[in-house]
Amino acid sequence: MANPTLLILAGDGIGPEVMAQVTRVIDWFGAKRDLAFDVENDLVGGAAYDAHGTPLHDDTMARALEVDAVLLGAVGGPKYDDLDFSVKPERGLLRLRKEMDLFSNLRPAQCFDALADFSSLKKDVVAGLDIMIVRELTSGVYFGEPRGIFEEGNERVGINTQRYTESEIDRVARSAFELAKRRGNKVCSMEKANVMESGILWREVVQRVHDADYPEVELSHMYADNGAMQLVRAPKQFDVILTDNLFGDILSDCAAMLTGSLGMLPSASLGAPNAEGRPKALYEPVHGSAPDIAGQGKANPIACMLSFAMALRYSFDQGDEATRLEAAVEKVLADGARTADLMGPDDGAPISTTEMGDAILAAL
Amino acid sequence: MANPTLLILAGDGIGPEVMAQVTRVIDWFGAKRDLAFDVENDLVGGAAYDAHGTPLHDDTMARALEVDAVLLGAVGGPKYDDLDFSVKPERGLLRLRKEMDLFSNLRPAQCFDALADFSSLKKDVVAGLDIMIVRELTSGVYFGEPRGIFEEGNERVGINTQRYTESEIDRVARSAFELAKRRGNKVCSMEKANVMESGILWREVVQRVHDADYPEVELSHMYADNGAMQLVRAPKQFDVILTDNLFGDILSDCAAMLTGSLGMLPSASLGAPNAEGRPKALYEPVHGSAPDIAGQGKANPIACMLSFAMALRYSFDQGDEATRLEAAVEKVLADGARTADLMGPDDGAPISTTEMGDAILAAL
Ligand SMILES: CC(C)[C@H](C(=O)O)[C@@H](O)C(=O)O
Ligand SMILES: CC(C)[C@H](C(=O)O)[C@@H](O)C(=O)O
């Protein structure tokens, strides 16, 4: 049988550095676990813009639709701040999400035992935290039309459109309920149904999917502002949080930061399963391109490693191998390996990106 | 000279309870500080719906436009959850904001020394925290058209429109810069200019107002998702945060919860100054109607008290009297007075809403 195919888009900033370590791990799985991938590398974001004048070349887009999974580093950086909106690095990532139809974005917010002290929250508030945020990723205000900056009378007006169809809500709700069944069996759906009609429809459809097909899962609804509050106040009340594209962007970053482990958090963006039951999929760390530390060997490669672990689990049905990689990460942390982002000012000297890669390979 | 006029709209849930204590304080200022107000009481939210079938009667709206300031308790509750969108309690509040043209919503997130331990964040992260969030309140996705739930093909679609004109951004930016000048002289503006064109216009106009009229204020821009993260990670980096209606809703609740003192936080919603230099204004606590504890005498009246203090300062030019009331609140806290929301499970017996009112009156 042919090897499964992986397209690596390392992107900008710290993307290439962290991806270099993941590549070593991928090679290890090929050599030691009889799990070889056919890996291709290509450009996205600012890197693609520099080479081709577009943040995602059509050929890259086409390959992304063909491979079994895409692994992405990060996009963006100050160098590209003044680019026209249509060619900003972010447009490359958004195009991938949209054309691959990756409607379900899984963002675990997990507090690693070894790092619980590092959160800005009190240890007892976050120790053992394990939330899964399911964010709708291909619709809402990110893609709704009309959008743009228009003349109106003698001034300009900036317009974006929040827009959700019943079927868009239905399918992402299902993915949240499915996940909940394999976790804590609870879903909390967040919107602003008290202010936005799109939120009313959201709430109604989520409730309908629940009542029809997932009555055994515990479902609650919360306004997104209260959701942000509750995340800060008592995050352990949540299991799966289901929300839309824009609320998900903000709430998942808030949740990620609770754990104190931003450099540790992976994500999976999944589409509908194909004939073999395998979803189109893109995996990327939650952290951004971190231009302030790029190229200095300071970045933490773990979020990107764990994104590859999610790929093993969700795209390649290799749950045991995913667990193996996750266990190696837990071990190096328990042994005290710390990149700069995991240290306070008085905690001594951090290890480098490559040294963290070394440690994880050794633990494997 | 005629007394200044105050319209009190106690609203739903704990609104009437906390407002009863504020009324005692208002009376005290009349009796002891020669600062009498002509106070009227009326209905808003569910209470207005029960009486008139609308969450804000036209006569109440008309009076709100005439008085010198409006003091509001809270709106909403499960009893009204199934009401049609157009008559939900929230519509009453939103109509007040819109027709009074209260475009600048000031939400201080302040950590009270006596309560720093009560935050879910580590004490050193929040002690001394003093942020002012300036939230645009009369535009954006809260009011943009088209909006609603429409048929499309054989399904429905929920639509809301994010919409900002240059002049709407300009005026709220000015209010943020003016405030910053009287505080830490720093403004951080938050949007999603990497994804939304309305955010691009927002950033551009804020920068233009800054460069033209407030070059001495330190201005930075941040994506709203990163803003949520930074609020959790290191909130003391901020002085004034300027943002739009929807981001402001979420970020201000997140910031409020950092302080651990949700029952303590007031807000002011201000319009343009009239001929005498006095803005149209509505003052309300940040907390909601808290239906779970309504009618039990458990609610903390301090947020509503401090909202009245903001009224003294911003509507009646009585900064010294505002400080007097704020000092009384600080004193009772320092003396250990605690309503239930300010206590952990093992902290003993809390005092009631009325007892907190007693304590503040005694301190005055
Ligand atoms: C880079 C940006 C376009 C993106 C988003 O807004 O979705 C990022 O913040 C994320 O959360 O993945
Ligand atoms: C009650 C509701 C309409 C309101 C809002 O969304 O603005 C509230 O959450 C607030 O922040 O004042």
Q: What is the tens place of the pLDDT at every residue in A288-308? A: 999 999 999 999 999 999 999
Read off the pLDDT of each residue in A205-218 and give the average, rounded to a whole number: 98
Q: What percent of chain B has pLDDT over 70?
A: 100
Before A146, cis peptide (omega within 30)?
Answer: yes
Read off the pLDDT of each residue in A335-339 and give the average, rounded to a whole number: 93
Burial (Cβ within 10 Å: 0-12, 13-18, ≥19) of residue B6: buried
Contact A90 B195 (CB under 8 A): yes
A94 contact B CB<8A: yes
Give the other-Cβ count within 10 Å of A59's Cβ: 10
Q: Are strands A155-165 and B155-165 parallel, antiparallel or unpaired?
A: antiparallel
* In the predicted structure, residue B256 carries a pLDDT above the cut 80: yes
Least confident of A168-182, A337-351, B37-51: A337-351
Least confident of A117-121, B60-64, B295-299, B309-313: A117-121
B157 contact A CB<8A: yes
Alpha-carbon distance B169 to B153, whole Å? 37
State the pLDDT at residue A277. 79
Residue with the bigger pLDDT between A93 and B276: it is A93
Residue type, B294: A
State the pLDDT at residue A212. 98
State how far the alpha carbon of B126 is from the alpha carbons of A179, A256, B240, B344, in Å.
35, 19, 16, 18
State the pLDDT at residue B164. 98
State the pLDDT at residue A348. 82
Least confident of A165-169, A345-349, B59-63, B134-138: A345-349
Cβ < 6 A, ligand 1 pocket: A 76, 90, 93-94, 249; B 194-195, 225
Name the DSSP class of A342. Answer: G
Contact A158 B164 (CB under 8 A): yes
SS3 content of chain B, % helix, strand, coil (to 5): 45, 25, 30
Q: Which residues of A touch B258 (CB under 8 A)?
A: 232
State the pLDDT at residue A361. 98
* In the predicted structure, residue B112 carries a pLDDT above the cut 80: yes
SS3 A149: strand
Give the other-Cβ count within 10 Å of A24's Cβ: 17
Least confident of A77-91, B59-73, B88-102: A77-91
* In the predicted structure, residue A191 carries a pLDDT above the cut 80: yes
Alpha-carbon distance A243 to A237, whole Å? 16
Catalytic annotation on A142? yes
Closest residue (by CA) to atom 5 of ligand 2?
B249
Looking at ligand 1, which atom is closest to the CA of residue A97? 7
* In the predicted structure, residue A330 carries a pLDDT above the cut 90: yes
- Shortest distance between the Cα of A228 and any Cα of chain B, in A, equals 5
CA angle B250, B137, B111 (to 5 degrees): 50
Read off the pLDDT of each residue in A65-82 and give the average, rounded to a whole number: 94
Contact B165 A159 (CB under 8 A): no
User: What mean pLDDT is reported for chain B?
Assistant: 95
State the pLDDT at residue A268. 98
Read off the pLDDT of each residue in B113-131 and give the average, rounded to a whole number: 91
* In the predicted structure, residue B346 carries a pLDDT above the cut 90: no
Domain B1-106+263-364 has CATH 1.10.10.10: no
Domain A1-112+262-364 has CATH 3.40.718.10: yes
* In the predicted structure, residue A346 carries a pLDDT above the cut 90: no
Q: How far is the CA of A165 from the centre of ligand 2 (A)?
A: 25
* In the predicted structure, residue A344 carries a pLDDT above the cut 80: no
Read off the pLDDT of each residue in A265-274 and give the average, rounded to a whole number: 93
Residue with the bigger pLDDT between A346 and A166: it is A166
Residues 120-139 of B with CB under 8 A from A: 120-122, 125
State the pLDDT at residue A218. 98
Q: Are strands B266-273 and B279-285 parallel, antiparallel or unpaired?
A: antiparallel
State the pLDDT at residue A273. 84
**Domain B1-106+263-364 matches domain B130-258 at the CATH topology level:** yes
Closest residue (by CA) to atom 7 of ligand 1?
A249
| Interface probe with A: pick from B95, B254, B265, most Cβ of A within 10 Å | B254
Residue B219, phi then psi, degrees to nearest 5: -115, 135
Residues 168-197 of B with CB under 8 A from A: 192, 194-197
pLDDT band at B117 (very low <50, low <70, confident <90, very high): confident
State the pLDDT at residue B343. 85
CA angle B75, B80, B86 (to 5 degrees): 85
pLDDT band at A114 (very low <50, low <70, confident <90, very high): confident
Segment B139-173, tens digit of pLDDT: 999 999 999 999 999 999 999 999 999 999 999 99
pLDDT band at A35 (very low <50, low <70, confident <90, very high): very high
Residue with the bigger pLDDT between A276 and B338: it is B338
- Residues present in chain B in total: 364
State the pLDDT at residue B273. 84
Residues 248-277 of B with CB under 8 A from A: 249-254, 256-258, 262
State the pLDDT at residue A278. 85
Contact B196 A158 (CB under 8 A): yes
Read off the pLDDT of each residue in A214-226 and give the average, rounded to a whole number: 97
* In the predicted structure, residue B1 carries a pLDDT above the cut 80: no
Which two tokens mark B51? 């009486």
Burial (Cβ within 10 Å: 0-12, 13-18, ≥19) of residue A8: buried
Q: Which residues of B touch A203 (CB under 8 A)?
A: none
State the pLDDT at residue B121. 95
- Shortest distance between the Cα of B114 and any Cα of chain A, in A, equals 18
DSSP H helices in chain A: 15-32, 46-52, 58-66, 89-99, 123-126, 166-181, 197-213, 224-233, 245-258, 302-314, 319-334, 353-363
Q: Which residues of B touch A195 (CB under 8 A)?
A: 90, 94, 141-142, 249
pLDDT band at B189 (very low <50, low <70, confident <90, very high): very high
Closest residue (by CA) to atom 6 of ligand 2?
B249
Ligand nearest to the CA of A288: 1
Look up the CATH architecture of domain B130-258. 3-Layer(aba) Sandwich (3.40)
pLDDT band at A226 (very low <50, low <70, confident <90, very high): very high
SS3 A110: strand
pLDDT band at B296 (very low <50, low <70, confident <90, very high): very high
Residue A228 CA neighbour count, 13 Å, CB half: 32
Tell me which residue has tokens 């619980």: A116
pLDDT band at B278 (very low <50, low <70, confident <90, very high): confident
Provide the residue ranges of all domains of chain A, joining segments of one domain with +.
1-112+262-364
Strands (E), B101-228: 104-110, 130-136, 144-152, 155-165, 186-191, 218-223
pLDDT band at A260 (very low <50, low <70, confident <90, very high): confident
Q: Which residues of B touch A155 (CB under 8 A)?
A: 165-167
pLDDT band at A55 (very low <50, low <70, confident <90, very high): very high
* In the predicted structure, residue B244 carries a pLDDT above the cut 80: yes
Residue of chain B nearest A154, judged by CA positions: B166
List the one residue out of B276, B281, B320, B308 whose CA is nearest residue B33. B320
* In the predicted structure, residue A1 carries a pLDDT above the cut 90: no
Q: Are strands A155-165 and A144-152 parallel, antiparallel or unpaired?
A: antiparallel
SS (H, E, C) A74-109: ECCCHHHCCCCHHHCHHHHHHHHHHHCCCCEEEEEE
pLDDT band at A241 (very low <50, low <70, confident <90, very high): very high
Tell me which residue has tokens 């809270």: B74
Q: Are strands A218-223 and A186-191 parallel, antiparallel or unpaired?
A: parallel
